[in-house]
Amino acid sequence: MSSFTGTGRLARLAVRRDRIRLAVWVLGTPLIGYALAESVAGFYPDEQTRLGYAETAVSSVVARAFNGPIAGTELGAVVVTETYLTLALLAALLSTFAVVRHTRQNEETGRAELLGASAVGRYALLTAALVVVVGANLLAAALLALAFVGTGLPVAGSLAAGAAIAGVGVAFTGIAAVAAQLSVTSRGANALAAATVGVAFLLRAAGDVLGERGADGARLISAWPTWLSPLGWGTQVRAFAGERWWVLALPVALLVAGLAVAFLLAERRDVGAGLLAARRGPARAASGLLSPAGLTWRLHRGALAGWAVAVAVLGLSFGVAGHEVDAMISENPAAAEVIAQLGGGSKLVEAYLAAMLGLFALTIGAYVVQALLRTRGDETDGVLEALLATAVSRTRWLGTQVLGAVLGALALVLLGGVTTGLGYGLAAGDPIGWTVELGGAALLRLPALLVVAGLVTALFGALPRWSVALSWTVLIAFLLLWQLGALLDLPQAVLNLSPYTHVPSAPAAHPTVLPLVGLTVVAAALVAVGLAAFRHRDTPG
Amino acid sequence: MSVISIESLVKTFGGVRALDGLDLRVEPGEVHGFLGPNGSGKSTTIRILLGLLRRDSGQVRVLDGDPWRDAVALHRRLAYVPGDVSLWPNLSGGEAIDLLGALRGGLDQRRRDELLQRFDLDPTKKCRTYSKGNRQKVAIVAALASDVELYVLDEPTSGLDPLMEAVFQEEVRQLTQAGASVLLSSHVLAEVEALCERVSIIREGRVVESGTLSELRHLARTTVTVETGRPVTGLEALPGVHEVRPVDGRVRLEVEPAHFDALLGHLIRFEVRALTSAPPTLEELFLRHYGDSANGSRPASVGGDR
Contacts of B97 in chain A (CB under 8 A): 285
- pLDDT at residue A3 in the model: 78
Asked if residue A123 has pLDDT above 70, the reply is yes
Q: Are B65 and B216 in contact (CB under 8 A)?
A: no
Residues ≥6 apart with Cβ < 8 Å to B133: B159, B160, B161, B164
> If you compute the radius of gyration of chain B from its CA atoms, what whole number of angstroms results?
23
Highest-confidence segment of A50-64, A497-511, B63-77: B63-77
Residue in chain B lying closest to A534 (CA)? B52
* Residue A175 pLDDT: 93
Instruction: Return the pLDDT at B292.
Output: 53
pLDDT tens-digit series, residues A230-257: 999 999 999 998 899 999 999 999 999 9
Q: Are B155 and B186 in contact (CB under 8 A)?
A: yes
Residue A374 has pLDDT above 60, yes or no: yes
The one-digit pLDDT tens for each residue of chain B (306 residues) are: 899 999 999 999 988 999 999 999 999 999 999 998 888 899 999 999 999 999 999 999 999 999 999 999 999 999 999 988 999 988 999 999 999 999 999 899 999 999 999 999 999 998 988 888 999 999 999 999 999 999 999 999 888 998 999 999 999 999 999 999 999 998 777 888 889 989 999 988 999 889 888 887 777 788 899 998 888 888 888 888 888 888 887 888 888 888 888 999 999 888 899 998 887 777 777 777 766 544 444 443 333 333
Residue A232: strand, helix, or coil = helix
Closest A-chain CA to B116: A283
A387/B103 touch (CB, cutoff 8 Å), yes or no: yes
Cα pseudo-dihedral A224, A228, A232, A234, rounded to 10 = 120
Q: pLDDT band at residue A275, thresholds of 50, 70 and 90?
A: low
- Please list, in sequence order, all residues whose beta carbon lies within 8 angstroms of the beta carbon of residue A254, skipping any fewer than 6 positions away: A170, A171, A174, A175, A230
Mutant choice from A185, A296, A390 vs B, greatest count of B C-beta within 10 A: A390
Q: What pLDDT, on a 0 to 100 scale, did the predictor assign at position B149?
A: 95
CB contacts of B71 in chain A (<8 Å) are 388, 393-394
**CB-closest option in B54, B84, B124 to A283:** B124
Of A280, A382, A391, the CB nearest to B75: A391
As to burial, measured by CB atoms within 10 angstroms (0-12 exposed, 13-18 middle, 19+ buried), residue A388 is: buried
Radius of gyration of chain A (CA): 24
Q: Looking at the predicted structure, is the pLDDT value of residue A168 above 90?
A: yes
Would an 8 Å CB–CB cutoff place A185 in contact with chain B?
yes
Q: What's residue B298's pLDDT?
A: 41
CB contact under 8 A, B102 and A290: yes
Taking only the tens place, the pLDDT of each residue in A470-486 is 998 999 889 888 877 76
- B120 C-beta neighbours (distance < 10 Å), count: 12
Q: Which of A160 and A512 is assigned the larger pLDDT?
A: A160
| Topology (CATH level 3) of domain B4-214 | Rossmann fold (3.40.50)
CB contact under 8 A, B54 and A536: yes
The residues facing B227 across adjacent strands are B274
* pLDDT of A273: 67
Tell me how long chain B is: 306
Q: Are the Cβ atoms of B124 and A185 closer than 8 angstroms? A: no
Q: State the DSSP H helix or E strand holding residue B203, giving kind and residue range, or none if neither.
A: strand B198-203
- Cβ within 8 Å, pair A392-B139: no
CB nearest B92 (choices: A282, A386, A387): A282
Residues 280-319 of A with CB under 8 A from B: 280-285, 289-292, 295, 298-299
Asked if the C-beta of A139 comes within 8 angstroms of chain B's C-beta atoms, the answer is no
The amino acid at A471: S
Q: Do A282 and B126 touch (CB under 8 A)?
A: no
How many whole angstroms separate alpha carbon A322 and alpha carbon A310? Answer: 18
Residue in B10, B44, B47, B52 to test binding to A, most A beta-carbons within 10 Å: B52
Would you call B52 and A385 a contact, using CB atoms and an 8 Å cutoff?
yes
Closest A-chain CA to B84? A382
- Cβ contacts of A536 on chain B, cutoff 8 Å: 54
**β B181-186/B31-35 pair status:** parallel
**Beta-bridge partner residues of B252:** B225, B245
Nearest CA-CA distance, residue A378 and chain B, Å:
9
Distances, alpha carbon B267 to alpha carbons A168, A279, A306, A443, B264, in Å: 88, 72, 84, 94, 5
Among candidates B97, B103, B128 on the partner chain, residue whose Cβ is nearest the Cβ of A391: B103
Min distance B98 CA to chain A CA atoms (Å): 6
* Inter-chain touch B128–A185, beta carbons under 8 Å: yes
Of A141-145, A312-316, A364-368, least confident by mean pLDDT is A312-316
Classify residue A444 by burial, with Cβ atoms within 10 Å: 0-12, 13-18, 19+: buried
Q: For residue A399, which residues of chain B lie inside 8 Å, CB to CB?
A: none
Listed by start position, the domains of chain A span: 1-275, 291-541
Compute, in degrees rounded to 10, the torsion defined by CA atoms B65, B66, B71, B72: -40
Q: What average pLDDT does chain A have?
A: 88
pLDDT reported for residue B207: 92
Tell me whether residues A280 and B85 touch, CB distance under 8 A.
no
Please tell me the distance in Å from B193's CA to the nearest CA on chain A. Answer: 28
Q: What residue ranges do the domains of chain B occupy?
A: 4-214, 221-279
What residue spans of A228-332 are helical by DSSP H?
Answer: 230-236, 249-268, 292-329
The residue among A276 and B306 whose pLDDT is bigger is A276
> In chain B, what residues touch A183 (CB-CB under 8 Å)?
none
Distance CA B121, CA B127 (A): 12
